Amino acid sequence: MTDTPVLQRSAMTALQTDIHSMQNNMKTDDFHSLANAYNATLRSWEKAAAMSSAMSGEEVVDVQKMNAPDFLVKAVVDLEDYIQEKFANKSKMSKIKAQALNKLRAQVRKGNAQTFPEEQLEHCREHPEDYANISTTRG
């Protein structure tokens, strides 16, 4: 018996937990905690991708060349949309909250450019019906 399914399940569970944390922070508009949860999500995806390529016997590949799971793509696109919505209403925020939003926005732009294939993010934006029934929460 191998540990492969257990390891993959563990990595995906960690990823879903991080996404759930991101979603909770989006509900409370806690930009600092949201940035931390986003960074944890990226680290979890990088670990899961490296683990997956190592288990398949391949060399460790660039994470951007791998297709991310649909639930992760949906969560990242939802986060980008959330940030754009909040950025449009930035004048109503306190100075500290606006600074945290600007920092988060920069982190998400850079992180997404380095981590996810642009085609995959664009596909989610152009065809949201393909991602409509995907749950990004645990359970």
- Residue 77: predicted pLDDT: 95
Contact 76, 24 (CB under 8 A): no
Confidence label for 56 from pLDDT (cuts 50, 70 and 90)? low
Higher pLDDT, 27 or 62: 27
Contact 17, 47 (CB under 8 A): no
* pTM (2 d.p.): 0.84
Q: Is the pLDDT of residue 23 over 60?
A: yes
Q: Is the pLDDT of residue 67 over 70?
A: yes
